[in-house]
Homo-oligomer: A and B are copies of this chain.
């Protein structure tokens, strides 16, 4: 069955070139997907002319307005209704597209999606959820930066949404959920994590709550879902990315430091390429904005066409699995509406 994804063709450092080339890769992988490209027709048409095979699956929707990287979300909410980002999100609200992908300004995408798509019932704030390579496979991590300040109730919501996300997208039957903290003992951390932990431990939620995890547990793959506020989560993710980059840099240096080392690299190359693939950030591109009444996927702004195609893949996967309907059902199941006390205790 065909499905349609709308794209903010002007979002991302190398847009719209990167987006159209990303669509080309996505089309090869997922020929059953149609695309609505929102952006400047004068720029998009020449690109599509070079790839005539895309014409059958792409429709260009012209707009001259685009959200810039330094636009404030509040500005975009006031003046951005004709921007490629807004129109692409609106295509989901209107039912024209089943999901939207943008590599543009994260804060603006969050604000616009929240305004246009609205939140799922019972969810206070959306969260950005992404994947992370670990020693054991993959871990879901959220929030990666949508909410700088989080209370215990937000963390609990993130835990619920993250658990469903991991179950659905990673296919893990009973994902374990950990709360990111500075130590594993009950007394460690700030009020928000301590309160959230005790609710997740004793609140009767049908979640396999592991307890607190520390920064090193992310890459170790100690749990399937790592929950944190957006400030810490964003910094932890980017610190990790920085170290990965540093390692690549050091290794490149090492392998080019002598003739012997260069020869050693050539011999070990096929094994080393596997390491590279296993940790390729493009492979993990495509963060889901959870909690919205619609599928919105944020691609890294600096990604390339391969990474963008992966983000499109995430959106298609979520649409195909009926992610939002399932999360709605989960949320209803978690909060028995008949007993306001249980409800309060659960949140």
Which of A25-33, A217-225, A287-295 contacts its partner? A217-225
- Chain B contacts of A278 at CB under 8 A? 250
A72 within 8 Å of B by Cβ? yes
Instruction: Please tell me which one of the listed residues B72, B148, B182, B268 contacts residue A268 in the complex, with CB atoms under 8 A apart.
Output: B268
Shortest distance between the CB of A263 and any CB in chain B (Å)? 5
Bound: A185/B133 CA distance, A: 28
Q: CB distance A215 to B241 under 8 Å? A: yes
Is A265 in contact with chain B by the CB < 8 A criterion?
yes
**Structural contact, A219 and B239, CB atoms closer than 8 A:** yes
CB-based contact B271/A255 at 8 Å: yes
Report the bound CA distance from A62 to B241 in whole Å. Answer: 47
Identical copies in the complex: 2
Contacts of A279 in B (CB 8 A): 246-247, 250
User: Which chain B residue shows the least CB distance to A241?
Assistant: B216
A107 CB to closest chain B CB (Å) equals 8
A172 at the interface (CB under 8 A from B): no
Are A247's CB and B244's CB within 8 A? yes
17 sampled A-B residue pairs with Cβ under 8 A: A134-B246, A135-B249, A148-B190, A219-B243, A220-B246, A231-B232, A232-B232, A239-B240, A247-B247, A247-B279, A250-B279, A251-B272, A258-B271, A260-B267, A263-B268, A264-B265, A264-B268
Binding site for B on A (CB under 8 A): 70, 72, 133-135, 145, 148-149, 180-182, 185, 187-190, 214-220, 228, 230-232, 234-247, 249-251, 253-255, 257-258, 260-261, 263-272, 274-275, 278-279
